Amino acid sequence: MSSLSNAPSPGPPIVKIYLVRHGETQENKDLVIQGQLDTKLNETGLQQAALVAEVFKDVPLTAAFSSDLERARKTAESILKHHPSVRLVTQPELRERFMGDLQGRKVDRGRPKLEGMHVESSPDFIQRIMLWWDATIANNLSATPVDIDVVHVLIVSHGAFIATLVRTLFTDDIISSVDLELRDIRSCFNTSVTTIEMRRDKRGVLKKYSDISHLVMPVVRTNADESPQG
């Protein structure tokens, strides 16, 4: 970040955050807008969850949070099979954007109109995301003991949630990246891993975004829940 370019080093990262999108659902495959519908992982999604679990097999996770919707919770539970001592905390704040009357509808050509559809507005969605970030992540960074090793935190959520969080952290100058720019923060794929390293000063670095190198099968490239704007 330009404002810190000549400042002393604020220290090493103390928290590594792994943002994982849930595995595939049939609705993902069929381009159905899910929003906060409580849909289930399909067979491919279950396989994806097992594969992403292998990514974290040897990561010393110390905390785990998940959306309370089944598709996210089951993905998190698959990962935590390798970490039986880590308790999963489910949080409704991590749910996907509420898509109102569009939920359950298939995406047709173009972007559906949001007027009168009772969709969670972009400002309200961002506010919900950042209230969660501050309460769960940012406000706990400065309270971390100085002699603690790096804390590894798993967060399983949804595509639009993760993409919007990362874009907002970039825009608000909370995170930076050597390799990525704001325009690179696009669709977040099923069971992709996004890694952020945070420091005690509440600033951090985006190390990876939507990494699916662990998958051996094709992924759905369009997220119906990210299509509408408003």
**153-201: pLDDT as tens digits:** 999 999 999 999 999 999 999 999 988 889 989 889 999 999 999 999 9
Report the pLDDT value the prediction gives residue 5, as an integer from 0 to 100: 33
Measure the CA–CA gap between 85 and 75, rounded to whole angstroms.
17
> Would you list which residues are annotated within the binding site for substrate?
21-28, 71
> Would you list which residues are annotated within the binding site?
21-28, 71
Confidence of residue 217 (pLDDT cuts 50, 70, 90): low
As separate numbers, helices (DSSP H) first and strands (DSSP E) second, the chain gives 6, 7
Topology of domain 11-27+41-97+120-217 in CATH is: Rossmann fold (3.40.50)
Measure the CA–CA gap between 172 and 89, rounded to whole angstroms.
27
Report the pLDDT value the prediction gives residue 112, as an integer from 0 to 100: 62
Report the pLDDT value the prediction gives residue 12, as an integer from 0 to 100: 75
- Tell which phi-psi region holds residue 141, choosing left (phi > 0), alpha (psi between -120 and 50) or beta: alpha
- Active-site positions? 22, 96
E strand or H helix that includes residue 184: none
- Express each pLDDT in 129-160 by its tens digit: 999 999 999 998 877 767 778 999 999 999 99
Report the pLDDT value the prediction gives residue 13, as an integer from 0 to 100: 80
pLDDT at 122 over 60: yes
Q: What is the pTM of this model?
A: 0.88
